[in-house]
Structure 1
Amino acid sequence: MKLFGKNHIIICVITFVILFLMNYIGNNQADKLQTALMIAVAGVIGLSIGLIIMNKGKNDKTPPQDFD
């Protein structure tokens, strides 16, 4: 998957919506909007960092010798 391409943006939006709704609907505290937004943004950032790490070694022509 190309980073920050069409598919990446779609997955980030879906992740944001799911995390936001899970935290907004299930929270009874006074600051539920702020908490839900922070958790949803943190989830999208974590997803992007994970994809960057995963795609970093994608085109590596010299893998480790004894990987198992």
Structure 2
Amino acid sequence: MPLFKNPKYYILILLTFVVVFLMGYIGNDEPDKLSRILMNAVAGAVGMAVGLLIYKKRENGDPDDHSPLD
């Protein structure tokens, strides 16, 4: 079962990874820049995926969408 039915979500996650990776790679002169940049890019892509999951849940109109503080 795919996580997202629309392939645009996967393209958006990949684009986020590439943009964060390039921003870090171009502007970093540290000796361990590749490991730092990969961690930042993966964290950005995971954050985007979590945000899209929340967006998808709200878009579907799930009945359990109220705050846990209610």
Could you tell me the TM-score, scaled by structure 1's length?
A: 0.77
Identity of aligned residues (%): 41
Larger radius of gyration: 1
Aligned match of 2:24? 23
Aligned match of 2:61? 60
Count of residue correspondences: 63
Question: Mind listing any 5+ residue stretches in structure 2 that lack a counterpart?
Answer: none
Q: Hey, which bits of structure 1, 4+ residues long, moved more than 4 A? A: 61-64
**Distance in 2 between residues matched to 1:4 and 1:30, nearest whole Å:** 40
**Distance in 1 between residues matched to 2:37 and 2:62, nearest whole Å:** 42
Q: For residue 5 of structure 1, report the CA deviation from its aligned partner.
A: 3.5
In the alignment, residue 17 of structure 1 is paired with which amino acid? V
Deviates more, 1:29-38 or 1:5-14: 5-14
**RMSD over equivalenced CA pairs, Å:** 2.1
Q: 1:33 to 1:8 in 2, by over 3 A?
A: same
